[in-house]
Amino acid sequence: MWAMVTTSQGGFEKLQYRRVPLPQIQENEVLIQVSAAGINNTEINTRLGWYSDKVNKGTQQLQEKEEEEDKPDGGWGKPTPFPLIQGTDCCGQVIACGSGKLAHLLGQRILVRPCMASQCQNNYTPWFGSDIDGSFAQFTAVPATEVFPVHSDWSDIELASIPCAYGTAENLLTLAELKKDESILITGASGGVGSAAVQLAKIRGAQIYGLCGHTKMDDLKKLGATPLNRSIPLDQQIKSIQMDTVLDMVGGENFPQLFETIKRGGRYVSSGAIAGPMVSLDLRKLYLKDITMKGGTAWQPGVFENLISYIEEGKIHPLIWKSMPMDKMVEAQKEFLQKKHFGKMVLLPNPL
């Protein structure tokens, strides 16, 4: 089959579209013909080794910097097993099963749950496309427990925009225990997780504020958030409003002013730091205001099941920027890094 193989840590040149053997399925697995695969920032981070302790800058700056230093700790929780087929989002069709017990899945249109709860070992939950081969290929082998049939009139491209971003957002809102009428400030609100969080917070009936670049404020408003301009100091825009929850995927230099907006007893949740991971935290604010901070990578039980039901019940709507053939990955990632898009970019495996 054809696959986009990330050969090792490094620049775009490490992305090689080439023929590889079809994956062999185990007894507990199914073989999926990939129909569409969304792009996420994490794939770029993993290729760059951004998760390494040696890195203290944002994704964009790291991509632009020429460096040859090896970062063995550049993967999520474990060293990335290069060469790796990345790809966290997968919509596809089950075309073979490892055992007769899985026959009910045959022919189903499915989404893969990338945070593979059933594969958790030693308290570590592996991720599809980060710890094992993912969806940037014509086929992929996945444990049947991580395969979720979806009954919806959405296109494959639309479905493929959901798993990583919406799962991460749903998990963070679950961790934050966001309730009806509570206020939430979402950073990077025009991004994948951010725009998902806006929709998922809306389902919960929250008052939503979203930070984004000024060119995306109109789109964000249509999505249901009060748009805030990330280039204007926050306190000038929200005055004395204090947030029950801050959902932050950005981090970086603006972290302190973000933290200031959290009300006494409020929550800060994070699953990314695209502007830079090292932030300055004032422990006094944390404890005098009884704040809870939660990081979320391994998903809470029920998160993915919730997403499937939101799709099937029409509670969320896909936001697609564009789709591209999978062999145009480098082009796609370059456009992704420019951050001019609003909505997901999705790759289509080249025809068999």
Stretch that binds a copy of itself, among 13-21, 142-150, 295-303, 340-348 (CB under 8 A): 295-303
User: What whole-number distance in Å separates Cα of residue 47 and Cα of residue 96?
Assistant: 30
Cα–Cα distances in Å, from 137 out to 51, 205, 243? 24, 39, 42
What is the spatial distance between Cα 16 and Cα 327, in angstroms, rounded to a whole number? 9
Asked whether position 295 contacts a copy of itself by CB under 8 A, the answer is yes
**Site membership for a copy of itself, residue 77 (CB under 8 A):** yes
Q: Within positions 147 to 176, which residues make up the interface with a copy of itself, using CB under 8 A?
A: none
- Concatenated DSSP letters for 117-159? GGG-BTTB--BBTTTB--SSBSEEEEEGGGEEE---S--HHHH
Q: Supply 149's token pair.
A: 């049939």
The reply on whether position 117 binds a copy of itself by CB under 8 A is no
Binding to a copy of itself by residue 57, rule CB under 8 A? no
- Residue 214 and residue 229: Cα distance in Å, rounded? 5
Q: Which residues contact 314 (CB under 8 A, 6 or more apart)?
A: none
Is residue 22 near a copy of itself by the rule CB under 8 A? no
Residue 287 CB contacts under 8 Å (≥ 6 apart), including other chains = none
Residue showing tokens 């491209």: 157
CB nearer to a copy of itself: pick between 156 and 182: 182
The DSSP secondary-structure symbol of 277 reads S
Q: How far apart are CA 331 and CA 215, in angstroms?
A: 22
> Cβ closer to a copy of itself: 47 or 341?
47
Residues 264-293: x/- map of binding to a copy of itself (CB under 8 A)?
xx----xxxx---xxxxxxxxxxxxxxxxx
Minimum Å gap between C-beta 122 and a copy of itself is 9
Smaller CB distance to a copy of itself: residue 295 or 314? Answer: 295
Contact between 213 and a copy of itself (CB under 8 A)?
no
In the DSSP assignment, the letter for residue 138 is: S
Residue 91 CB, shortest distance to a copy of itself, in Å, is 26
Q: Binding a copy of itself by CB under 8 A: which of 109, 202, 294, 339?
A: 294
Whether the Cβ atoms of residue 204 and residue 178 lie closer than 8 Å to each other: yes
Task: Tell whether residue 119 is a contact of a copy of itself (CB under 8 A).
Answer: no
Q: Contact region for a copy of itself (CB under 8 A) — 15-23, 159-167, 183-191, 296-304?
A: 296-304
Interface residues with a copy of itself (CB under 8 A) are 51, 53, 76-77, 123-124, 248, 251, 255, 263-265, 270-273, 277-298
